[in-house]
A and B are shown apart, each in its own frame.
Chain A
Amino acid sequence: MGWEGFLLVVLLLIICVNSFNSLAFLTVENQVNLFVLSVEKIIIALIMTFIILNAEIDLSVASMMGLAACALGWMVESGTSTSTAIGLCLIIGLVGGAFNAYWITIVKLPSLVVTLAMLIGFRGLGRVLIEDRSIRVFPPWFENLGQQPILGPLPLSILIFLVLLVIAVVILQYTGFGRYVYVIGISQEVATYSGVRVARVKTILFMVSGLISALAGILFSARLGSVRGDMGLGFELDIITMVLLGGVSIFGGAGSIYGVILSILIVLYLRNGMSLSNVTGHIQTGVIGVILILSAMIPNIKSWLESIFDKKYAP
């Protein structure tokens, strides 16, 4: 049984416990709500999967979310039309991603360092734009977009997530670009000597990461109806947690998008189940932490057991 199989068992277990614990769990309303409450994070988790598979990391995603949200609020407040401002914010995302990519692929600095700097930089820029204020200037259509269902019970943000999910699966599993992402993750030297344009792949990934993060920031603004400087603060850790719990190796090259989908479901269902049982705050954080530690330990225990087994019965 692989990691995905293990996650599937855990997921089914959580669904069973939740269903028995609360009548509300399986209602459509609750199912939609639990995704809506975290939709910005899980959208970014998709692109983060690509980046970690590529043996890189992008710590600046949540700050880019905040920057896009602040820039949106600031522009609309200064009289720009909301639709123009949305377009400009997406461009900010692309430019921010390209900036990250420049330092990583051309100057060849580690992505951990570059994006850590931008975690601070983007956040700072956002705070400069709107300072310590909370801005509530959006037209009703924009707020409705974030809050009202548009297809059945599903709001726009969930539909965007589903579309991006399909695109992510197709690219990663069925295209040459997807294979390059894995190959570079396994060994950058081998990829380079095999003629893979490593810098180009990385640049595309970081630019898309910036773009998606800005999109998430815009969706977040629409959902909450107002913006302020601390939006999305600390989200990068939740996002990276989901990807790693999904079995993607932090050293790159190993893991699958299916594992990440399962881990997203596990984290969301676990949180929702605890909320419905009125478990709050610190205990929730603690439980998720323990699950993570276990998830990191189990593969090690498995290989440790295998090594004992091999020694005993080796010919």
Chain B
Amino acid sequence: MHKKIISILTVTALLFGATVMAHTIAKKGMRADLVLMPKFLGILVFDQANNGAQEAHKELGNPGKLEFLGPTPENSVAGQIEILTTATTQGQDGIMISNNAGDQIAPAAKAARAKGMTVVTWDSPIPSADGEQLFIAQVDFNETGMVMADMALNIIGPGGGEFAVLSATPDAANQNAWNASMKEHLKDPKYSKIKLVDLVYGDDQSEKSYNQALALVDKYPNLKLIMAPTTVGIAAAAKAMQDEGMCDQVKVSGLGLPAEMVSYTLNGCAPEFALWSFVDLGYLSYYATYMMATGQIEGVAGETFKAGRMGYYTIEKDPTRDKGLRVKMGPFSVYNKDNVEAASK
């Protein structure tokens, strides 16, 4: 009888032990010098991601440094490659990249890996996954496409009409994946009345995005909606429509920050948009990178780790790229006149 109880206890303990091993909880106070690199400086959402990473840095008591280093907007590609190369030379232990250089950054990332540096991407991955160990995805890229299609349908209405996409840069892997997935969803008969007429790039620069929005309206007189899956693009497009007094004819939607969009949502220029928390994205990216750089997790598919206040996450194959692993954060928040004011504070 006793034997039986003991063996049950042993089995339970073993099972429990196995579960604990599979769910790694971060050991605090280990040293790792880390770099957080945005696409470029001066964008609010990247500063928010930095706040999240700094929060995690303090929480984990890492005696190393966390640097927030980014290029200027006009020098984004060459600047990102330069920062990555310099970080490798400096002997940094890990870097978190919101990639704006497409595959052009892959050679530098491979060189960093060869030196033993941990290379994690967040927000926007390396398309080929060359030189990248793990991508922290904000949301499921497929889901982004569906949310975009749904918002378009919702705003344009059952009567249907034309809309256009105002994206960031041609090499932003996240944008491309979202746009591609939205096009896939649009094939569904449910969306048959709404028609995508063009896709243009504003390079995530306010002035260019503003001008591109105006150009779209000139080119397509029947345009009902501009869908901008970028926080810079959506705000610029909404301002352009407001300045031209066209908010009645052409609505704006996409991915935006409540703080930047609140006035446009309340005045009807941008009735509905979506986003996730960039603070959380920075926080989660930091946890994953810290644990990989200090050897607590390897960064292979199937590993589960606990990211502080955000709970457990599992590394999986990235369904949107041939190679590459990801951790999916989620979820989406959709904002409209009912909840935007609360979220903007």
Contacts and interface: CB of A to CB of B under 8 A. Distances in A.
A30 B72 contact: no
Given A37-B85, A228-B102, A223 B107 contact: yes
A22 B104 contact: no
B104 A33 contact: no
Contact of B104 (A225, A276, A285): A225
B107 A276 contact: no
A225 B106 contact: yes
A147 B109 CA distance: 12
Contact of B103 (A30, A37, A226, A230): A226
Interface string A222-246: 0111101110011000000000000
B207 interface: no
A282 B70 CA distance: 9
Interface in B189-226: 201
B170 interface: yes
Contact of B171 (A22, A29, A134, A225): A134
Contacts of A280: 41, 69-71, 79, 83
A196 B31 CA distance: 68
A191 B89 CA distance: 50
A26 B122 CA distance: 32
B344 interface: no
Interface string A126-154: 00000011101000000100110000000
Contact of A30 (B70, B77, B78, B89): B89
A253 B102 CA distance: 43
Contacts of A133: 170
Interface string A284-311: 0100000000000000000000000000
B136 interface: no
A33 B170 contact: no
B107 A225 contact: yes
Given A278-B69, A281-B71, A136 B103 contact: yes
A147 B107 contact: yes
B71 A134 contact: no
B298 interface: no
Interface in A1-47: 22, 24, 27, 29-30, 33, 37
A276 B89 CA distance: 8
B82 A281 contact: no
**Most chain A CB within a 10 A radius of its CB, from B40, B72, B74, B107:** B107
B157 to A, nearest CB: 30
B102 A226 contact: yes
Contact of A134 (B70, B74, B103): B103
Given A132-B170, A225-B103, A226-B102, A272 B86 contact: yes
B107 A224 contact: yes
A143 B83 CA distance: 21
B89 A281 contact: no
A56 B245 CA distance: 48
A84 interface: no
B7 interface: no
Interface in A204-226: 223-226
B90 to A, nearest CB: 6
**Most chain A CB within a 10 A radius of its CB, from B70, B79, B89, B201:** B89
A276 B83 CA distance: 9
B331 interface: no
A143 B107 contact: yes
A223 to B, nearest CB: 7
A33 B128 CA distance: 24
B107 A22 contact: no
Interface in B66-113: 67, 69-72, 74-75, 77-79, 81-83, 85-86, 89-91, 102-104, 106-107, 111
Interface in B10-49: 40-41
A276 B86 contact: yes
Contacts of A226: 102-104
Nearest to A31: B89
Contacts of B81: 37, 224
A230 B339 CA distance: 40
Contacts of B201: 132
Contacts of A147: 107, 111
A24 B40 contact: no
Contacts of A27: 89
A30 B81 CA distance: 14
A224 B128 CA distance: 13
B170 A228 contact: yes
**Most chain B CB within a 10 A radius of its CB, from A22, A136, A229, A234:** A136
**Most chain A CB within a 10 A radius of its CB, from B67, B69, B78, B103:** B78
A24 B69 contact: no
B41 A278 contact: no
A-B complex: 10 closest residue pairs judged by Cβ atoms: A132-B170, A224-B104, A275-B86, A281-B72, A134-B102, A30-B89, A134-B171, A281-B41, A280-B69, A226-B103
Given A225-B107, A275-B86, A281-B41, 19 more contacts: A24-B89, A24-B90, A29-B89, A33-B89, A133-B170, A136-B103, A223-B107, A224-B104, A225-B106, A228-B170, A230-B77, A272-B86, A275-B83, A278-B69, A280-B69, A280-B70, A281-B72, A281-B75, A282-B72
Interface of B: 40-41, 67, 69-72, 74-75, 77-79, 81-83, 85-86, 89-91, 102-104, 106-107, 111, 128, 170-171, 201
29 contacts: A22-B90, A33-B85, A33-B86, A37-B78, A37-B82, A132-B170, A132-B201, A133-B170, A134-B104, A136-B103, A147-B107, A147-B111, A225-B107, A226-B102, A226-B103, A228-B102, A234-B75, A272-B86, A275-B86, A276-B89, A278-B67, A280-B41, A280-B71, A280-B79, A281-B40, A281-B70, A281-B71, A281-B75, A282-B41
